[in-house]
């Protein structure tokens, strides 16, 4: 299908360059008035603030609430052209949320504003980059422009603090990595792909012509195949005369294939390119294969809840050889339940069989003090549903986790994040669920029957980050209530505790530890194992003392969002924590941003397929808890395959419990490596904009030149590593095992 449409009014000649602009200061006022966003507003009476420090250090100590920064900048006149270059605006980090305007027009934002009827959501630790297209009518070429940044500070320090702000011309690739909304994508050439029900991929390529002079030529779509290195022509249009304002769209359907790139060209010039979703994980065999970890830690007498994770045709019959006294296995769904009273190691063989064959796996129950001997794998409601989570939405993802077969690969936790709490306790002080969770105990029972586990969220402060009730002063009641509901995992989020902490004179480590140690003591008194996950964004190097407060996981960073910048900043900065990881002690760089995410307003993750492979590879190497952040009931085949590669997940679930360290860096190339039970797991990452060929520097990394290498995503032996060159795409990676 191909169409030509006429849509534009403004057409230009040549796009010209502009100089990069940099701003250390901005005009500033607390409060908010829509008038302050406009170009014409007179801000001469406003004072100037330094953009490298929060407003708290510049005369607004402890000010929480809204404020506006204004930056005036000039754009050159366009000589002989009506279209300027696209602009990339870099704002650094902003505490906590922002909405950004150019000449009064909204161009993007991060985090949430309660004042606008939303909730205060903090994105304090995330770099902001926004883009405005060069033909956006809001821009005033040849005149004065105003960039207005409206900020909402929820608590603690506030404002812009990571300056200078820069404005420069940018390319399509830069635009793809912004984390604000885009100016107006309807004004650019672009290719967008989506998965069709049968697994084929449909791509729509749209070319938009905006030059004043008409041009004659054909639009060609090329497919560059990575595996073969060959480029084939997919489509060539009839000769066209493209005139100013014409738009040309063609749609094509691709069979599922390896990594390839679609390139749209006109008169020898590349107009747009995209890598459609591509699946690397080979199809699971019909015979049973038992996946998942090799160990399960449980405390004496605590309930065991473990479903044998087996891929292959269903129905399947499950059994266990050598099952210790106190445990039983449901032969129909493979759920092992019961409890073991005596400490010790209990070695068993897990078995699963169907009409095609039998799968077996050696497995150990380790009954003792330590739990979460491998990083927890599951789902959390936050990245998809934010504060709009309901019991039905939780059930829908849990059910889809089973129906789609993610449970066959070891996914098991179903964690409810913020917004389940009622706004008031009952007379006895007991915390209650709100109307969105009519039967949380019933939910827990149903999850447990199916071999899944239930997680909950609270804060050591009086309120959570979403302003729901926290546990301050009610720690014991809350832990007991959660245990009675069957909770297996607690995410305990600092937020409201900031108020208690700020009022202290002494802000030493013991004060960071205090609220977490208090809850951990009470959790240990419950008659079930509750994985304890600290969420305080890495303050006071939490990885140095997380294990001391008996936690199994601790967030090391602020909140993640679904952009390359956020992924890169968070994932690749985990360079000092690896020494602290061990079975039952996990650094947590935040939850997965795969599939449909959106904190209440779902959209496809803005990461490209290459970036998504990087995300999962890195999180597996980092031995991070893996918590799926999307609505699983809407999960596509690409995302399912990304999360169900047994060899990749084995890197995360490896019994040694090591975390990868960055061992090599050469410009944009980084190599991360960790010991696993049967060799070394290695990630080769390309953070740059162009693809790069990489040979692994075996000698420098102390590796044997005779090592053989396996490609874990493709589940393929590649032979001697020394002879291999890896063509690593921009923002992509290879995940390897060396033996």
Residues that bind ligand GAL (CB under 6 A): 382, 417-418, 457, 464-466, 493, 495, 535, 559
Least distance in Å: CB of 248 to ligand GAL? 43
Task: Please answer whether residues 559 and 595 qualify as being in contact, where contact means their C-beta atoms are separated by less than 8 angstroms.
Answer: no
Q: Which of 247, 418 has the CB closer to ligand GAL? A: 418
Shortest Cβ 419–ligand GAL spacing (Å): 7
Rounded distance between C-alpha atoms, residue 616 and residue 607, angstroms: 12
Q: What is the nearest approach in angstroms of ligand GAL to the Cβ of residue 31?
A: 25
Supply the Cα-derived Rg of the chain in whole angstroms: 27
| Min separation Cβ 460 and ligand GAL, Å | 12
Q: What's the Cα-to-Cα distance from 271 to each of 208, 288, 524, rounded to whole Å?
A: 9, 47, 60
CA distances from 202 to 414, 583, 607, 608 (A): 32, 43, 18, 16
Residue nearer to ligand GAL on the CB measure, 141 or 619: 619
- Minimum CB separation of residue 502 from ligand GAL in Å reads 16
Which residues is 201 bridged to in the sheet?
A: 195, 254
Nearer to ligand GAL, 39 or 624 (CB): 624
Residue 360's CB is within 10 A of a number of other CB atoms, namely 14
In this complex, which beta carbon is closest to ligand GAL, that of residue 110 or of residue 608? 110
Closest separation in Å from C-beta 659 to ligand GAL: 21
CA proximity to 535, closest of 81, 205, 122, 19: 122
> Distance between CA atoms of 112 and 122, rounded to whole angstroms?
7
Residue closer to ligand GAL (CB basis): 378 or 405: 378
Closest separation in Å from C-beta 194 to ligand GAL: 28
Tell me how far, at minimum, the Cβ of 95 lies from ligand GAL, in Å: 13
DSSP secondary structure, 216-262, as one string: EE-EEEEEEETTT--EEEEEEPPPEEE-TTEEEEEEEEE-S-SSEEE
Contact partners, residue 74, CB within 8 Å, separation at least 6: 143, 144, 145
CB 512 within 8 A of CB 556: no
- Given the residues 43, 95, 418, 493, the one annotated as active site: 493
Length of the chain: 739
> Which residue from 643, 685, 226 is spatially nearest to 405, judged by alpha carbons?
643
Residue 57: Cβ within 10 Å count: 14
Which tokens sit at 168?
């420069």
Q: Least CB distance from residue 495 to ligand GAL, whole Å?
A: 5
Q: Which residue is nearest to ligand GAL (CB)?
A: 465
Q: Which is nearer to ligand GAL, 119 or 311 (CB)?
A: 119
Q: How far is the CB of 682 from ligand GAL (least distance, A)?
A: 30
For ligand GAL, the closer of residues 148 and 151 by Cβ is 151
Non-local CB neighbours of 363 within 8 Å, separated by 6+ positions: 294, 295, 296, 320, 347, 348, 349, 350
Question: What is the SS3 assignment for 192?
Answer: strand
Sequence-separated (6 or more) residues with CB below 8 Å from residue 283: none
What 8-state DSSP symbol labels residue 291? Answer: -
Give me the residues paired with residue 74 across strands. Answer: 144
Q: How far apart are CA 635 and CA 26, in angstroms?
A: 44
- Cβ atoms of 669 and 684 within 8 Å: the answer is yes
Greatest CA separation found in the chain? Answer: 85
> Kindly report the CA angle at 522 between 441 and 440, in degrees rounded to 5?
10
CA angle 496, 563, 185 (to 5 degrees): 120
Strands 453-458, 487-493: parallel, antiparallel or unpaired by DSSP? Answer: parallel
C-beta closer to ligand GAL: residue 464 or 645? 464
CA 425 to chain centre: 34
Q: Report the residue number, 66 or 418, with the smaller CB distance to ligand GAL.
A: 418
Active site (annotated) includes residue 559:
yes
| 41 versus 494: smaller Cβ distance to ligand GAL | 494
Which of the following is catalytic: 559, 562, 604, 610?
559
- Active-site residue set: 493, 559
């Amino acid at each position: 299908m191909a169409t030509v449409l006429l849509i534009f009014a403004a057409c230009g000649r040549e796009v010209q360059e502009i100089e990069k602009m940099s701003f250390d200061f901005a005009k500033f006022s607390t409060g908010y008035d829509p008038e302050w966003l406009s170009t014409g507003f007179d801000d001469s009476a406003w004072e100037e603030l330094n953009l490298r420090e929060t407003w708290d250090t510049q005369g607004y100590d402890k000010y929480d609430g809204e404020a506006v920064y204004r930056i005036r900048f000039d754009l050159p006149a366009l000589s002989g052209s009506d279209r300027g270059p696209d602009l990339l605006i870099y704002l650094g980090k902003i505490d906590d949320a922002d909405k950004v305007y150019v000449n009064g027009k909204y161009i993007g934002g991060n985090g949430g504003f309660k004042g606008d009827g939303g909730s205060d959501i903090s994105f304090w630790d995330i770099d902001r980059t926004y883009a405005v297209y060069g033909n956006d009518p809001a821009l005033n070429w040849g005149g004065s422009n105003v960039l207005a940044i409206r900020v909402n500070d929820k608590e603690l320090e506030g404002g812009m603090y990571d300056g200078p702000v820069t404005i420069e011309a940018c390319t399509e690739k830069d635009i793809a990595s912004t984390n604000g909304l885009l100016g107006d994508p309807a004004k650019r050439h672009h290719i967008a792909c989506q998965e069709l029900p049968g697994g084929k991929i449909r791509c729509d390529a749209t070319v938009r012509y905006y030059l004043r002079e008409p041009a004659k030529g054909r639009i060609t779509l090329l497919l560059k195949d990575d595996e073969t290195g060959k480029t084939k022509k997919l489509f060539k249009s009839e000769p066209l005369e493209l005139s100013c304002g014409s738009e040309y769209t063609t749609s094509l359907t691709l069979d599922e294939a390896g990594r390839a790139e679609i390139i749209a060209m006109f008169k020898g010039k590349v107009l747009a390119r995209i890598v459609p979703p591509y699946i690397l994980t080979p199809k699971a065999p019909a015979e049973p294969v038992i996946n998942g970890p090799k160990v399960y830690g449980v405390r004496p007498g605590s309930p065991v809840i473990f479903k044998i994770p087996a891929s292959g045709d269903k129905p399947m019959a499950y059994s266990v050889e050598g099952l210790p006294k106190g445990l039983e296995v449901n032969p129909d769904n493979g759920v092992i339940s019961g409890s073991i009273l005596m400490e010790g190691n209990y070695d068993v063989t897990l078995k699963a069989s169907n009409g095609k064959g039998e799968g077996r796996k050696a497995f150990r129950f380790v009954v003792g003090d330590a739990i979460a001997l491998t990083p927890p794998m599951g789902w959390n409601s936050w990245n998809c549903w934010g504060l709009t989570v309901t019991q039905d939405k939780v059930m829908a993802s849990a059910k889809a986790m089973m129906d789609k077969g993610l449970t066959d690969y070891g996914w098991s936790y179903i964690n409810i994040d913020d917004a389940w709490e009622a706004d008031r306790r009952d007379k006895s002080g007991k915390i209650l669920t709100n109307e969105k969770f009519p039967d949380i105990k019933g939910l827990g029972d149903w999850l447990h029957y199916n071999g899944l586990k239930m997680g909950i969220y609270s804060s050591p402060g009086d309120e959570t980050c979403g302003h729901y009730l926290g546990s301050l002063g009610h720690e014991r009641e809350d832990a007991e209530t959660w245990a009675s509901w069957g909770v297996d995992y607690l995410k305990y989020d600092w937020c409201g505790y900031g108020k208690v902490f700020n009022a202290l004179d002494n802000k030493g480590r013991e004060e960071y530890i205090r609220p977490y140690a208090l809850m951990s003591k009470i959790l240990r008194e419950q008659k079930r194992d509750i994985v304890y996950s600290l969420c305080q964004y890495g303050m006071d190097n939490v990885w140095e003392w997380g294990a001391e407060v008996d936690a199994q996981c601790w967030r090391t960073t602020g909140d993640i969002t679904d952009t390359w910048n956020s992924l890169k900043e968070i994932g690749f900065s985990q360079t000092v924590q690896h020494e602290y990881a061990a079975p039952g002690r996990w650094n947590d760089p935040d939850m997965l941003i795969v599939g449909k995410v959106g904190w209440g307003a779902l959209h496809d993750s803005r990461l490209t397929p290459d970036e998504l492979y990087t995300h999962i590879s890195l999180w597996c190497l980092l031995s991070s808890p893996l918590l799926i952040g999307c609505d699983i009931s809407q999960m596509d085949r690409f995302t399912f395959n990304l999360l169900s590669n047994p060899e990749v997940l084995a890197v995360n679930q490896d019994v040694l419990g090591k975390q990868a360290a960055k061992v090599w860096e050469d410009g944009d190339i980084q190599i991360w490596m960790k010991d696993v039970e049967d060799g070394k797991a290695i990630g080769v990452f390309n953070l740059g904009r162009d693809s790069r060929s990489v040979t692994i520097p075996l000698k420098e990394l102390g590796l044997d030149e005779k090592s053989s290498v396996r490609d874990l995503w493709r589940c393929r032996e590649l032979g001697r590593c020394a002879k291999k060159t890896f063509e690593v795409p921009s923002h992509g990676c290879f995940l390897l095992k060396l033996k």
